[in-house]
């Protein structure tokens, strides 16, 4: 499948950065991609060395949260590389529905519509959280609301991440 990148899909980007924080923008964005994956910055080949540095033993089945997963191929490539316990969350029901169907053969991979400011996972649930562009998208301007949203997302990420010292 041909991937879209930022430069090849610039026509889909908003005219105003504030739109990045709106669910309806993302529903429209993913609908217009017509199920082609979109990679914001890096793909799995570029990230693999770093991920393996922090999670070297795949046999331990580390639990990974992909925050703001979008329709990136990252999770599928992680899964195909042996990381089988992956939870993918996004606040766009359009993209979650698409990705559930696209990855139906990857047993156990979870796709959930969720607000990253209020995750439903237990404290200390994940060994790693991957974010390839979520925080950039949320920081759309310098308002108090944006600052509070980013703070809430980061606090939730900290809460669901396992304590490395335990």
pTM of the model: 0.75
Cα 149 from Cα 139, distance rounded (Å)? 9
Mean pLDDT per 10-residue segment, the chain (166 residues): 46 63 70 65 80 86 93 93 96 92 95 95 96 70 84 94 84
pLDDT at 66: 96
pLDDT at 38: 64
pLDDT at 147: 86
- Which contacts qualify for 91-95: CB closer than 8 Å, 24 or more apart? 91/23, 91/26, 91/115, 91/116, 92/23, 92/26, 92/27, 92/30, 93/27, 94/26, 94/27, 94/30, 94/31, 95/26, 95/27, 95/30, 95/69, 95/70, 95/71
At a CB cut-off of 8 Å and minimum separation 6, what does 29 contact?
12
At a CB cut-off of 8 Å and minimum separation 6, what does 11 contact?
none
């Amino acid at each position: 499948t041909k991937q879209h990148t930022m430069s090849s899909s610039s026509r889909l980007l908003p005219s105003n950065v504030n739109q990045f924080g709106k669910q309806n923008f993302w529903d429209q964005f993913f609908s217009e991609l017509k199920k082609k994956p979109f990679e914001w910055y890096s793909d799995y080949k570029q990230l693999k060395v770093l991920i393996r540095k922090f999670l070297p033993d795949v046999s331990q089945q580390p639990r990974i949260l992909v925050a703001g997963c979008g329709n990136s191929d990252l999770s599928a490539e992680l899964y195909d590389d042996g990381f089988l316990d992956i939870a993918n969350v996004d606040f766009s029901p359009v993209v979650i529905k698409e990705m559930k169907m696209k990855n139906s053969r990857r047993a156990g991979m979870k796709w959930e519509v969720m607000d990253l400011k209020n995750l439903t996972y237990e404290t200390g649930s994940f060994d790693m959280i991957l974010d390839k562009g979520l925080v950039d998208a949320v920081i759309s301007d310098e308002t108090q609301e944006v600052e509070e949203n980013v703070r809430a997302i980061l606090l939730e990420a900290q809460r669901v991440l396992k304590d490395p010292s335990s």
